[in-house]
Amino acid sequence: MADPVFVGIAVLTVGSAIISLESRELIYGAIALAISMLGIAGFFILLDSPFVAMFQITVYVGAVAVLVIFTVMLVRTQALFSKREDKGRKSAGFVLMLILMTGMGSLIIVSGINTKTFGSPKSPAVDFTAIGKQMLTYYSPALILLALTLAGAVIGALALARREEIAPKNERTD
């Protein structure tokens, strides 16, 4: 049904997503998350959208992964969290995951998503000049708002993480 490249990337993505949540050390989890994002970028290349794939690699594998790894180094704590998860909640979460997978999966399989309504994979690929055109004409207010949001978020994160910001009266001693 699907070709081997697709299956390989799917196994890589899903497997490293599981590893990122279940690894014992948080830093290995961060690296596995970056590999999972790389797998998603591989899917984007398979879907003939190399521009979005490069953006994904730049933002996720480049910026977000480095940010997460630095945070993991900063908040290094001696406690291992896997020991303190109770078994009941873990099995309940697993059952919830299986229910979601089978429920949503069977819903999608019986929904006839592969019929003509949603086009076909043989339709012409989107040229990335079209993306630029859309972004600078119809979506230009959204682009400006996005730039403002990013600037606000970065300044907010800097203000949050500033060390002088915490007055001694807010410091908890417990």
Partner 1 sequence: MHWLVERRLHQKMNELIDYVIVSVVLVAIGIYGIVVKRNAVRMLFALEIIANAANLNLIAFSRNLSNAQGQVFALFSIAIAAAEVAVGLGIIIIAYRLYKEIDVEEFKSMRG
Tell me the closest approach of the beta carbon of residue 122 to partner 1, in angstroms. 6
Chain positions 96 to 155 lying near partner 1, rule: CB under 8 A, are 96-98, 100-101, 104-105, 108-109, 113-114, 118-128, 130-131, 133-135, 139, 142, 146, 149-150, 153-154
Where is 96: in which H helix or E strand? helix 87-110
* 8 A C-beta contact, residue 44 and residue 17: no
Question: Residue 103 and residue 113: Cα distance in Å, rounded?
Answer: 15
Chain positions 24 to 83 lying near partner 1, rule: CB under 8 A, are 26, 29-30, 33, 36-37, 40, 43-44, 46-49, 51-52, 55-56, 59-60, 63-64, 67-68, 71-72, 74-75, 77, 79, 81
Q: Does 166 bind partner 1 (CB under 8 A)?
A: yes
Tell me the closest approach of the beta carbon of residue 56 to partner 1, in angstroms. 6
Please tell me the count of residues contacting partner 1 according to CB under 8 A. 92
Question: Residue 158 and residue 152: Cα distance in Å, rounded?
Answer: 10
Longest dimension (CA), the chain: 64
Question: Residue 51 and residue 58: Cα distance in Å, rounded?
Answer: 11
